[in-house]
Amino acid sequence: AEVTDMGNSSGFPQVLIQAQRELLNYSGTGISVLEMSHRTSDFSNIINTTENLLRELLNIPENYKVLFLHGGGTGQFSAVPLNLIGLKKDRCADYIVTGIWSAKAAKEAEKYGKVNLIHPNLDRYTSIPDSSSWSLNPSASYVYYCCNETVHGVEFNFIPETKDVIIVSDMSSNFLSRPIDVSKFGLIFAGAQKNIGCAGVTVVIVKEDLLGNALKECPIVLDYQVQAGNSSLYNTPSCFSIYIMKLVLEWIKSNGGAEAMEILNKKKSSLIYDIINTSNGFYCCPIDVSCRSRMNIPFRIGKKEGDEALEKLFLDGASKLGMISLKGHRSVGGIRASLYNAVTLEDAQALSAYMKEFLKDHLT
Ligand code: PLP
């Protein structure tokens, strides 16, 4: 039976089949991308095509650089302050903390400057407090937020307003799941492994005029100016991961681009939220309706804090039907349905049908 991974990967079947087909002989070169030097014209073609596709799909303005870096999203938790916290003399930054990923990013930034945590005292991450209650610092070097908190399922459906302070956003788990206005940001980054490829490469989209402000202690591989000046080839890039990203972007383009992904992701997530909302509390999603994620839907079963025996039964049954990786993150428990671009409408329909069935069998 076909297995649907609702967890942490982008298993686009067509992409994997194509990658397999050309694994030993990429585009008539007689070698695999795995064997290819990053200094060859064949690899230049791959990385340039990948960049052009990203520029086209997200309408990236010309005054932005696109970088393909190592180190994952976590690497960017360090790279962002190392490159940008020195933009203004106070060396401080505002971090809007809405879940574990923005909390981790803020903690890392504290090594390099002053960090102002916006609403840090939430006991649980289930909402985005009204922006009128945020106390943003006008002399901050940047305002940082995580656009989609993967573990908690809290997603921004708006871009925060700031006055003359650049915005930095971690889009690791909702990148290219919807269109975005890149011109509103100073910097966007996203690890590839959720929506646009596999682990090993992280996309950084950065406004050109922010380059050249790295702190002295910034490791050279994380220095945006150095990487931009070398077209991401200062050191050996993650060639194969970049190639996989190219295939995924080609797939997204031929399936209608970011706009089409948004329509699909709205439909997929509505299928699941509709059942949660009409289950009389049998399925319980603690996240405020206004910031419920289209990508990651955490929920508990049986009661608000979750009936663990029932949840185990749910996961076992799902696994028998070929739906895997539905277990919630270890820090929150329960169930989490991740509906990244590679998850099809049919996959989401299968999950919603199973949820309906399970509800019927277990509602007492
Ligand atoms: N940011 C977000 C929103 C994430 O979901 C993750 C990982 O899941 C990270 C950052 C960390 O990414 P990495 O594991 O690539 O360092």
65 phi/psi in degrees, rounded to 5: -95, 145
Ligand 1 in contact with 7 (CB < 6 A)? no
Nearest to 314 by CA among 268, 275, 267, 361: 361
Compute the chain's Rg from CA coordinates: 21
CA of 102 to the centre of ligand 1 (A): 10
Q: What are 251's two structure tokens?
A: 């797939």
Q: Which residues of 278-312 are buried (b: 16+ CB within 10 A; e: fewer)?
A: ebeebbbbbbeeebbbbbbbbbbbbeeebbeebbe
For ligand 1, is residue 173 a contact (CB within 6 Å)?
Answer: yes
Predicted pLDDT of residue 204: 98
Question: Of the residues 170, 223, 327, 347, which is catalytic?
Answer: 170
Q: Cα 354 to the chain's mean position, in Å?
A: 27
Tell the residue nearest (CA) to atom 2 of ligand 1: 172
List pLDDT tens digits, range 93-102. Answer: 999 999 999 9
DSSP secondary structure of 318-356 = HHHTTEE--BPPTTT-SEEEE--TTS-HHHHHHHHHHHH
Q: For ligand 1, is residue 101 a contact (CB within 6 Å)?
A: yes
In this predicted structure, what is the pLDDT of residue 1?
A: 34
Q: Give 103-158 pLDDT, tens digit per residue.
A: 999 999 999 999 999 975 667 899 998 888 889 999 999 999 999 999 999 999 99
- Tokens coding 102: 């923005």
Q: Is the CB of 73 under 6 A from ligand 1?
A: yes
Question: Do the Cβ atoms of 299 and 285 come closer than 8 Å?
Answer: yes
Ligand 1: centre distance to CA 73 (Å): 5
Q: Is the CB of 171 within 6 Å of ligand 1? A: no
> Cα of 48 to ligand 1 centre, how many Å?
25
**Best of 69, 150, 204, 295 for a ligand 1 pocket test (most atoms within 8 Å of beta carbon):** 150
Q: Is the CB of 191 within 6 Å of ligand 1?
A: yes
Residue 293: CB within 6 Å of ligand 1? no
Residue spans of the chain under pLDDT 70: 1-11, 120-122
Q: Is 72 in the pocket of ligand 1 (CB under 6 A)?
A: yes
Measured distance CA(265)–CA(99) in Å, rounded:
21
> In this predicted structure, what is the pLDDT of residue 3?
53
pTM as predicted: 0.96
| Dist. CA 124 → ligand 1 center (Å) | 19
Identify the residue whose tokens are 């009936």: 307
Q: Whose CA is nearest to atom 15 of ligand 1?
A: 72
Mapped onto helix, strand or coil, the DSSP state of residue 115 is: strand
Mutate to test the pocket of ligand 1, among 145, 172, 203 (most ligand atoms within 8 A of CB): 172
**Closest C-alpha residue for ligand 1 atom 12:** 73
Closest residue by CA, ligand 1 atom 5: 150
For ligand 1, say whether the CB of 99 is within 6 Å of any of its atoms. no
CB 125 within 8 A of CB 100: yes
